[in-house]
Each structure stands twice: as structure tokens, then as C-alpha cells.
Amino acid sequence: MISTPAEELAETLVELADTMSGEYDLDGFLRLLVDRCVRLLEVPAAGVLVVDHGVVVSHEQLAPVLRHDVSPLLDCSRDGAPVVVPDLAAGSSWPAFADGAIGAGFAAVHVLPLCRRTETIGALALFRDAEGEANGRLAKALADLAAVAILQARALRRSEELAAQLQYALDRRVIIEQAKGVLAERHGLTTRAAFIALRTYARSNNTKVSALARAILDGDFDTGLLG
């Protein structure tokens, strides 16, 4: 059964959301995005630039074109404003980019920012083999969705990394506290004196306090060496 445009758009939105809801796979997400842009927007090729990630294209001949140091994608990413070049042969601010795109068989390009509120992280380029513009409203919707998905995935990843760091720090703190208790009981020390002994020995022997504490708890260290 052939899907209607609305059904195909809905399926695309679900696919894109699903790609970023599991393990963070930005490259896979961007490849799906350019593929679906070609299908939904009926353009022969699309490419996307994420500033701190690189470029992904649906047409391999465009890869070097999108990597030019001077291009509408970089300008769009910097300024957060769409760039429309309905006729690349008519001249532009990016001659090397234009020549490369024309050489690859394209006549026009429409570039949209990947942005959310005031944050712009890249640009989506839609290429045409004839003069004109792409479907701007639908293209903007896809670019906005991509930006939101990428930023949310990054925020979630940062949150998970922070939680892991905090848990690691807490685990080390617990181990050290337990080792202090062992030392205090065995050698009649205050917990402060026990910690000073741990820290002094660790520094003198170029080891971490947490590693020394773990060795004490595991029975792998003679606590008599601390005093």
C-alpha cells in the first residue's frame, strides 16, 4: 500500500525520534535525516553539517563541497538564518562551493539552520538540479526537529555522564570513610587522624587515597605501615 505524504511525514518523524531515543548515534540520525529529506522534499540531494561533528550527505559527490571553509552552510550555522541560492551559476559569495555543486550536477541550494531558540548547531542543505527553491515550510520543520532531537540527546548524555561522575565520587567517598573507620578502630585514632595517615601515605607513595582505602578494606594492605 502506498503511503500518503502526510503518512510518510508521520513515519519519518517517528523514525527520527526513535533513532535518537536509544543509544546516542548522531551519524545514523543525520544519515536518516538527509535520506528522508530527499524523499519527502523531492530534492535530488541533501546534506547536513553539525558544527562540532562534521558533514553527512545523501550524494557522495557533495561531501567535499560541503566541507569548503567558505560556504553557505557555515554562514547559516554562524548567523542562524536561512540562505537561498536559486541559481548557483548566477554567482554567489561562495564561488568554490558553487563551482563544486554545479560540477556535481546541481543548480540551486536552499540552506536552513539547525537551531533551537538562540542556539544554532549546524545547517541543512537541500540541493536541486534545476533553478528554484525547496518546500520551505516542510524543510524548516525537519531542520527544527533535527536540532531539538540532537540538543535533547546531548543534554541527556551530559546528564548521564554527570550522574556517573557523581556516583563515582560518592563511591570513593564511602570507601575512604570505611577505611578511616578501620584504621581508627585498629590503631585507636580519631577519624581525622586516620584520614591524615591515609593521605600522607598515599602522597608519599604516589597512589590515590581511594586506591589505598580499597586495599585496606580488601585486606591487601598492612595498616601498620601507616603509623
Side-chain-side CA neighbours of residue 27 (13 Å): 2
Q: How far apart are CA 149 and CA 14, in angstroms?
A: 12
Q: Report whether 126 contacts 37 (CB < 8 A).
A: yes
Enter the pTM of the model.
Answer: 0.67
Residues 6+ apart with CB under 8 A from 23: none
pLDDT in tens, 145-160: 888 878 877 777 777 7
- The domain locations on the chain are 5-158, 161-226
Residue 132 above 70 pLDDT?
Answer: no
In the structure, what pLDDT confidence band is assigned to residue 1 with cuts at 50, 70 and 90?
very low
Domain 161-226 has CATH 4.10.95.10: no
For the beta carbon of residue 157, count every other beta carbon within 10 angstroms.
13
CATH superfamily label, 5-158: GAF domain (3.30.450.40)
pLDDT in tens, 41-73: 888 999 999 988 888 888 888 888 888 889 999
Helices within the chain (DSSP H only): 5-21, 26-41, 63-66, 72-79, 95-103, 136-187, 191-204, 209-217
Query: In the structure grid, which three cell numbers stand for residue 138, read together?
Result: 516542510
Q: Report whether 122 contacts 51 (CB < 8 A).
A: yes
Task: Label residues 13-39 b or e (16+ Cβ within 10 Å = b).
Answer: eeebeebbeeeeebeebbbbbbebbbe
Query: In the structure grid, which three cell numbers stand for residue 31, read together?
Result: 544519515
Q: How far apart are CA 207 and CA 220, in angstroms?
A: 14
Phi, psi of 122, rounded to the nearest 5 degrees: 170, -160
Q: How far apart are CA 185 and CA 132, in angstroms?
A: 82
Q: How far apart are CA 83 and CA 194, in angstroms?
A: 66
Mean pLDDT of the chain: 83
| Range with lowest mean pLDDT among 21-25, 76-80, 184-188 | 21-25
Q: How far apart are CA 224 and CA 33, in angstroms?
A: 64
Under the phi-then-psi rule, with left for phi > 0, alpha for psi from -120 to 50, and beta for the rest, what region is 206?
Answer: left
